[in-house]
């Protein structure tokens, strides 16, 4: 991967200001990366796929989620079922030095884009 693979942009995640990276070349091995300000983790989403089990809403004949009569232990009011689906491989990076190094390696605008306001703990 070379430095012109991605670009840093401002973004929103769960109603909070953040930053993410977007691919700007075909040879970029990642779909995107995003800083999760709530969890304080940098999520790197690879183009590599894997099959994983996920709980998904159980749908009726119209394609609508089926409601439950009572709240489930996870707080949801819809029926769910475990399904095997293909997803992108994700990596969660917590070490700030590693995050800064990765951004420097892959983002064309890493020198101009200041991530400090987004990563500073309040």
Residue 1: inside a domain: no
Domain count, the chain: 1
| Integer Cα distance of 45 and 22 in angstroms | 11
Chain-wide mean pLDDT for the chain? 92
Phi-psi domain of 15 (left: phi exceeds 0; alpha: psi -120 through 50; beta: other) = left
76-95: pLDDT as tens digits: 899 999 999 999 999 999 99
Q: Is residue 97 part of a domain?
A: yes
Residue 98 domain flag: yes
Give this prediction's pTM.
0.76
Give the distance, in angstroms, between the CA of residue 108 and the centroid of all CA atoms in the same chain: 20
Q: 13: which residues sit within 8 A by CB, 6+ positions away? A: 20, 34, 35, 36, 37, 38
Average pLDDT estimate for 107-116: 94
Q: What is the pLDDT of residues 33-51, one digit of tens each?
A: 999 999 999 999 999 999 9
Does any domain span residue 74? yes
User: Residue 102 is part of which domain span?
Assistant: 6-119
């Amino acid at each position: 991967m070379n430095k012109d693979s991605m670009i840093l942009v401002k973004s929103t995640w769960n109603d909070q200001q953040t930053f993410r990276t977007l691919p700007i070349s075909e040879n970029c091995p990642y779909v995107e990366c995003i800083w999760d300000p709530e969890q304080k983790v940098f999520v790197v989403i690879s183009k590599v796929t894997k099959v994983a089990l996920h709980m998904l809403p159980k749908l009726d004949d119209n394609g609508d989620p089926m409601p439950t009569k009572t709240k489930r232990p996870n707080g949801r009011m819809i029926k769910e079922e475990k399904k095997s689906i293909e997803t992108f491989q994700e990596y969660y990076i917590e070490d700030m030095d590693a995050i800064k190094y990765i951004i420097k390696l892959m983002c064309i605008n890493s020198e101009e884009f200041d991530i400090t306001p987004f990563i500073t703990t309040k």
